[in-house]
Chains A and B, each alone.
Chain A
Amino acid sequence: MKASGSIRIAFQPVGTRVEVNAGSTVLEAGREAGLILAANCGGNGLCGRCRVTVLGDNIPVPTEAERQALNQEELEAGQRLACRAHLHGDAGVHIPRTMLGNQQRLQLEGGMEKLSVDAGVLRHNIAPDTRPLGVAVDIGCTKIAAYLLDLETGDQLAACGMPNPQISYGEDLISRLVYARKGGKQARELSGCVRNGISKLIEELLDARAEHASAKPEQLADLCVVGNTAMIHLLLELPVDGLLVAPFVAASTAAVDIRAGDIGIELPGDVQVHVLPAIGAFVGADHVAMILANGLHNCSHVSLGIDIGTNTEIALSKPEHGLLLTASCPAGPTFEGGHIRHGMRAAPGAIEKIKHGPDGLSLTTIGNELPVGLCGSGVIDAVALLWHTGAIDYRGHLQPDQAGVRQGDSGREYLLVEAKNTGHGKDIVITQQDISEVQLAKAAVAASIRTLLTLSNTNDEDIEELVLAGAFGSYLDVDSSIEIGLLPGLPNATYLQAGNAAGTGAKMALVSSEMRAQAEQIARRAVRIDLKQQKNFNRELALATRFPKERLT
């Protein structure tokens, strides 16, 4: 059975072809082809989500893991797990769009305010009479965003983004850290991924700008990088061991100034890279940038800043007490559509909004395509709908006598979209297990906010502003989030969905030394609260899994 030599693999529907060694897995072949395939569990055959269909005559014999994850019918149709299926002959591979990282919607824009420029960081290390340009970069676990700025005016000239290429080493941060820890070669693979990604983005930015005006690599003078602490560690090849075990200590949280060439970003001039400082192992430079961008550190009122994601960061600013508290909590991948039966990333066909009106349900999908699953904001809306209509009780249990609730093959479920109205001809459901996942995730966020407020003697009434940063925070429906108890209902607060605030902060720091100094102050001033050490945290967590007893009308 085992063929030797190289084989040719054609990927559909993208149309990429690649030649690989016989015996490579689909995932490896995909990497080779430059495709970014989501491997949730890091390609360990555990999550069963990387389903692809192998086409042609050389369909590999299913492995044990595949037999577990797929049923007979699926196996016969050629479905396999990308991380488990070893290809031994020429084949076609169909990759469902829910798995293709490249097509995700990428949140790029933060606030549109005019940036203030000061001379401090203008490096005249480029030829005279050329406009100095700079690039701000925000490295997230799922995506990298980059912005091209005119360093003299602070104007944004171009923006682009890409999925973080590290995603094929594991969707979650821990898998990637564990991989990097294996040795220098592995760590360099991961840093290389991001460095190449950044280089590619810089090229794209310059190309985009060059369509309108002169933009040459020689004009680049300065880069400013933010990201969570783990991403920065991986970029700079700092030791990651401390990030993996309690008490979770970063190798460094300091701001870094380094030459681009020294971190493998090859540019013609002597380009400097400034990395903003972090607050701690789980409260990174991206959070500092978010605080900076929204002025949470120097505003005059009590405000909360929240970036909800796999790791959720929260900042509470109480200016009259000079307090700036930060905390992080692991909310898990639920809000990115992970751990949800029909969850998916924010890609075409994902249900992103559900409205319940007198005429029934109205669904909005990304790209206005027929629905094939739910992304994070859709999941929140769906659970809010279940709560609102009484399909679940305050414990989150589906009520069998309610419309739409039925017995599925793994317990109760709610039929959201019938097969005839979906893009793949299968029902889209919310299972009891999904609801349970949402309960745990929303409880982590809600209990963290609650604990931070209690600890600082802050009443809900005191808070005047709640800033939601990050992709998920920008797309979620605030009312739905309050209704299910993910966010607190604050009577006097303005809720601001700030977009990619970390990116905005990076841009501000790119063009201003004053802003870099402020970022430095934020990192120094911020007090990191270890929520797990708070006595009542687990009780708050248990209580927060429930839904508010009163339904909003």
Chain B
Amino acid sequence: MLEQLIKALAELEEDQVLDIVRKELAGGTEALSILQACQQGMTEVGDRFEKSEYFVSDLMMSGEIFKQVGELLEPGLESATQVSAGAVVIGTVQGDIHDIGKDIVVNMLKSANLDVTDLGVDVPPAQFVDALKETDASVLAMSGLLTLAFDSMQETVSLIEAAGLRDKVRIMIGGGPVDGGVCRVVGADDWGADAQAAVRLAKTWLEIGVQA
């Protein structure tokens, strides 16, 4: 049954996925195993995206399905402890409110078993710094689509430096016009052209292996 779940998620069949999850839960399967099957399905979605078989709309849909599954599993997951592979703080920077790309990355990171703190959109630099302190996360991902968002990214990096955290945190940026040049100007460590790239970076930095 879990094989079917992986396949249904990979095929983005929301109704089927939710149906199987409900049945599995009713049948006594542990929430954690169901979650892991869904994470596998999400990995498959990511792979297909990388092979240009899937597109942004598919990532959006997979994120929505994963969110629905999360809600169904939540009660069962509270007692279970899955060791997180690492912590990431993420948000869309101040002055920008684009969240679709950021949300896709959040869901992909979560499905990669990372502990994700999503600060939402229009996040002031100080809030990023506070979150890094609170969560002890070693990866920060900043998103921004507006050219003016780059100023906010730069400000955030400066504030992280001022807080003495720069050596402990690796910083990636992403969003429509972001490229290597922007990355250098902003002072980030690296950048990603799409959600898969962000996940790959996070995994590499957290040394949990990168799937081909």
Q: Which residues on A are within 8 Å of B, measured CB to CB?
A: 46, 174, 178, 244-247, 395-397, 410-411, 432-433, 436, 439-440, 443, 532, 538-539, 541-543, 545-546
A439 to B177, CA, bound (A): 21
Q: Contact between A246 and B95 (Cβ–Cβ < 8 Å)?
A: yes
Q: Contact between A542 and B55 (Cβ–Cβ < 8 Å)?
A: no
- Would you call B58 an interface residue if the criterion is a C-beta within 8 Å of the partner chain's C-beta atoms? yes
30 pairs, A vs B, C-beta closer than 8 Å: A46-B177, A174-B147, A178-B147, A178-B148, A244-B95, A245-B148, A246-B95, A246-B121, A246-B122, A247-B97, A247-B122, A396-B55, A397-B53, A411-B52, A432-B55, A433-B55, A436-B55, A436-B57, A439-B57, A440-B57, A443-B57, A532-B97, A532-B99, A538-B60, A538-B64, A542-B61, A542-B64, A543-B64, A545-B61, A546-B57
Q: Contact between A538 and B147 (Cβ–Cβ < 8 Å)?
A: no
Closest-by-CB residue of A relative to B122 is: A246
- Would you call B208 an interface residue if the criterion is a C-beta within 8 Å of the partner chain's C-beta atoms? no
Interfacial chain B residues near A247, Cβ < 8 Å: 97, 122
- Would you call B96 an interface residue if the criterion is a C-beta within 8 Å of the partner chain's C-beta atoms? yes
Best-surrounded residue of B60, B95, B121, B122 (most CB of chain A within 10 A): B60
Chain B nearest CB, measured from A429 CB (Å)? 15
- Would you call B12 an interface residue if the criterion is a C-beta within 8 Å of the partner chain's C-beta atoms? yes
A433 to B52, CA, bound (A): 9
For A538, give its contact among B95, B97, B100 (CB under 8 Å): B100
Interfacial chain A residues near B58, Cβ < 8 Å: 395
Q: Mark B45-69, 1 if CB is under 8 A from A, else 0.
A: 0000000110111101101100100
- Would you call B2 an interface residue if the criterion is a C-beta within 8 Å of the partner chain's C-beta atoms? no
Interfacial chain B residues near A543, Cβ < 8 Å: 61, 64
The 3 closest A-B pairs by CB, nearest first: A545-B57, A245-B95, A436-B55
Interfacial chain B residues near A532, Cβ < 8 Å: 97, 99, 121
A436 to B61, CA, bound (A): 13
Interfacial chain B residues near A443, Cβ < 8 Å: 57
Interfacial chain B residues near A432, Cβ < 8 Å: 52, 55
Closest-by-CB residue of B relative to A181 is: B148
A265 to B98, CA, bound (A): 38
Q: Contact between A436 and B12 (Cβ–Cβ < 8 Å)?
A: no
Besides A247-B97, A541-B60, A545-B57, 4 more A-B contacts (Cβ < 8 Å) are: A245-B146, A246-B122, A247-B122, A546-B61
Q: Contact between A542 and B57 (Cβ–Cβ < 8 Å)?
A: yes
Q: Contact between B96 and A246 (Cβ–Cβ < 8 Å)?
A: yes
A538 to B121, CA, bound (A): 13
Chain A nearest CB, measured from B194 CB (Å)? 12
Chain A nearest CB, measured from B159 CB (Å)? 18
Closest-by-CB residue of B relative to A540 is: B64
Q: Mark B187-205, 1 if CB is under 8 A from A, else 0.
A: 0000000000000000000
A510 to B67, CA, bound (A): 52
Closest-by-CB residue of A relative to B67 is: A539
Q: Contact between A440 and B52 (Cβ–Cβ < 8 Å)?
A: no
A346 to B95, CA, bound (A): 34
Closest-by-CB residue of B relative to A433 is: B55
Closest-by-CB residue of B relative to A42 is: B147
Q: Mark B64-100, 1 if CB is under 8 A from A, else 0.
A: 1001000000000000000000000000001111011
Interfacial chain B residues near A397, Cβ < 8 Å: 53
A515 to B63, CA, bound (A): 48
Chain B nearest CB, measured from A400 CB (Å)? 11
Within 8 A of A (CB), among B92-121: 94-97, 99-100, 103, 121
Interfacial chain A residues near B147, Cβ < 8 Å: 174, 178
